Structure 1
């Protein structure tokens, strides 16, 4: 590896251990994809000979998925350790070598949400438990894997009377936790780290505030630290969600347009595109069933949809980690400069893909924000 980058890998059931040097030497490629919401995944490519312990492990398992086998990847850049993924193996493929060449073993997997998506627990009762309590109870099963819950209470704290009704689980743990998050306009994901073997299961609102990461510099001569930046501005994407609330006394449904701006989702662009659905033919509700829900719950679901619809500016690019002098992380803010007044400023990092080979560490990324022109005069260097 490059002198400023070190990659360490741990594999094992439940509590993984550092792999032997012979295994790490046979590692040819690493790819880790992290999205702001949902599941993260990884792929490991090994070049192995006939006597490699990985070859024997593949034969003993019969090529079946190794959901019990946990994998942790840690990249140390300039002395700072970054846990890239903490997950389990879901698939492995072996391609025999030709004319005396080594075989190629490809291992793919997902983060620890893959363990939550295996067994269907439909019908499991939760008497007198609000959504927050149900999520906490479900996540307690995975404390053995170092999963620590971070649950933000919603505005819909409604207690049920057990003698009248109670809620029951539908689907797997992961599917039900996601369903509960969508019902209150929240998101759910697992963030690996900050230490190897520890992960944070976040259930709460999508946050687009915080300290920005070091800026991405384009076309700035010696200060340039990215390989490419491509911007798109979709003027038709900004559609304001509209919910209808039914007034029982009058028998009339009133439309309520929801702005895409909240304290946790401030505007990052000064000039957003005009909404494309404010004319009478387009005044359709976000969902037909929202009028039957309590107004606070419908509003929270609408605000979550509004935040997604407002991402009119998208930036796709790539960088070399050694030139950037750090690891760009998803689910945070980052500054962009050197590309002109229309696209300079702060962005939200929507997804990041890590691509590591021997002597090379690059990242592909996707950034989003709500409009053109920066809302801040300067960004962090």
Structure 2
């Protein structure tokens, strides 16, 4: 695709295989979104009336939704990067009278979409949240999904003689229920090899090893095309949780929950003060263990980072793929905004001879709390 950058596209119903040459020749662009709750991709093809995609591949079901698996991998300087491992969910055909303007668009999502298609009713007797997650994820090992489930900080489950929790929804809906009450996150990370994915259920922890710095306004050392920052003074709030005293169960005890994540400490030396106060609902009548778990979950869910950044870069100039859910340094933005940031989302935009990324960053606090960042 580019000097030092190669693109690999695998497509198939069960075990994806390299796409045929006709598909690669018709490929116009690829877009991959990662970093949110569910990642997605879009393949755009330029087709003609006699294109193999229209005359043969589409009629035989080559891109059938919910049956076709797609793996997208970019190899940069010999290092493979699996960008997406997902399932096709939608087809769009846009014929045109203009030569070369007819487009076939294939849209899909990561493998978590398979967890959201069948509603199940099953009990979980004697199982806490960790065992429930492992039970749900076990069947998906057939798709190369390896679970990484972090245990809850507070053990809270009922004895089978008292009752048990049941699932009456899709697997993904029940997983989201578990993540909400624990303050955890759940996502699928493709790789490190094609056909493998990591299913992470745990605190929203960013890898501590930062990626090479994003340089802006540094002349020949600049490696981004654009980068801007904004500070929202209304982003942070303090939550008040009210519980009843454990002895009489009649005296309300307010507990303030600071807007600081215990797993995502502020990356700025001067944190932004909270501007709002909010009271939690429906906790007064719950068991103490349940309230403690939900309260710690609020601490782990992560603070609302007041500073956000948006930018774009050329991968060839940056020298590697910028990954979401990790740290990255910023240089050249000035004393207030230089330093480390969390990479929230990344969008890969790939065309013939071009590989660019747009990204969003976040952190709380002005002025870097580290003397230097990784160049």
Where on the TM-score scale, by shorter chain, does this alignment land: which range? over 0.9
Segment drifting more, 77-86 vs 341-350: 77-86
User: What are the within-5 Å matches in structure 2 for residues 34-53 of structure 1?
Assistant: 34-35=34-35, 37-53=36-52
2:97 corresponding residue in structure 1: 98
Q: CA deviation at 1:100?
A: 4.5
Correspondent of 2:241 among 240, 243, 263: 243
CA distances 1:194-238 after superposition (whole Å, capped 9, x unpaired):
011000000000003410000000000010000111100011111
Number of equivalences: 371
Cα gap change, 1:243 to 1:65, in 2 (>3 Å): farther
CA distance in 2, matches of 1:224, 1:312: 25
1:320 corresponding residue in structure 2: 314
Work out whether 1:111 is the aligned partner of 2:107.
no
CA distance in 2, matches of 1:374, 1:291: 43
SS of residue in 1 equivalent to 2:362: strand
Correspondent of 1:172 among 167, 170, 173: 170
SS of residue in 2 equivalent to 1:129: coil
Q: CA deviation at 1:270?
A: 1.0
Segment drifting more, 290-299 vs 102-111: 290-299
CA distances 1:112-151 after superposition (whole Å, capped 9, x unpaired):
0111110111x31111111111111111111111000000
CA distance in 2, matches of 1:209, 1:220: 27
- TM-score, normalising length: structure 1: 0.93
CA distance in 1, matches of 2:242, 2:207: 30
Work out whether 1:13 is the aligned partner of 2:9.
no
CA distance in 2, matches of 1:235, 1:102: 46
Cα gap change, 1:3 to 1:209, in 2 (>3 Å): closer
Q: CA deviation at 1:64?
A: 8.7
1:149 corresponding residue in structure 2: 147
CA distance in 1, matches of 2:59, 2:25: 20
1:201 corresponding residue in structure 2: 199
Gaps of 5+ in 2: none
CA distance in 2, matches of 1:263, 1:48: 51
Work out whether 1:380 is the aligned partner of 2:374.
yes
RMSD between aligned alpha carbons? 1.8
SS of residue in 2 equivalent to 1:134: helix
- TM-score, normalising length: structure 2: 0.94
